Amino acid sequence: MGINRGLRASQQGHLDCLCGIYSLVNALAYLYDGRVKRKPLINALLREYKYHYDIYSLLTGGMDDDEMDYLIQSVLQQGYYYKHHPVIITKPYQKQTHLRTKKIINDISAFINCPNNRYQRVVLIGTQEHWSIIIGADNKYFYFFDSSGNIKAQHSSFSLIYQKTRHTLFSTSIYFIERPF
């Protein structure tokens, strides 16, 4: 598996807060080598979001992890997308306390770079200002397939301590996603 296979991430508008929606579209597009039809998927996600939440709030303020959980469960983990583009999604830190940033960074790197990888893997992360997809990791950087065009970020730019670094991690907003082969 190469990190960049010539795919191009969908780009969100500069004035909307749809990065959470785009991150789900980009995760499936990446895991299924671009075979997922992006427009129907984004429409399904927006339609389902609209049924339970205020769409204007999404456009202007983005989504939180509870809303992300709802979309994953209602769109990706059942129905058409579950049948045709199945993914295994876990939240390994959801109920953990006393976490350390270094452990999360090491776990993400190990998950992405698993040598016995029978799955293609990505990590969905939500920080204080953006949702993104991690597709690769080395000793210093995470690599992204991102709606804002972000390509990489240093591990040292992430922290669990609010506003200590550029990217604040939230344990409930980290999703390990894998495609079964």
Per-residue pLDDT of 113-125, as tens digits, reads 988 776 699 999 9
Q: Cβ(151)–Cβ(158) under 8 Å?
A: no
Q: Distance between CA 10 and CA 26 in Å, rounded?
A: 7
Which pLDDT does position 97 carry in this prediction? 86
Tokens coding 20: 């959470």
**Both tokens assigned to 55:** 């769409």
56 has pLDDT over 80: yes
Question: Taking residues 125-151, what's their average pLDDT?
Answer: 93
DSSP 43: H
Strand partners, 123: 134, 176
pLDDT surpassing 90 at residue 24: yes
Split at pLDDT 50, 70, 90, the class of 64 is very high
Give the pLDDT of residue 13. Answer: 57
165 in Cβ contact with 157 (< 8 Å): yes
What pLDDT does 147 receive? 87
pLDDT at 14: 66
At residue 4, does pLDDT exceed 80?
no
- Mean pLDDT computed over 163-180: 91
Residue-wise pLDDT for 69-121, tens only, equals 999 999 999 999 999 999 999 999 998 889 999 999 999 999 999 887 766 99
d(CA 174, CA 165): 17
Average pLDDT, the chain: 91
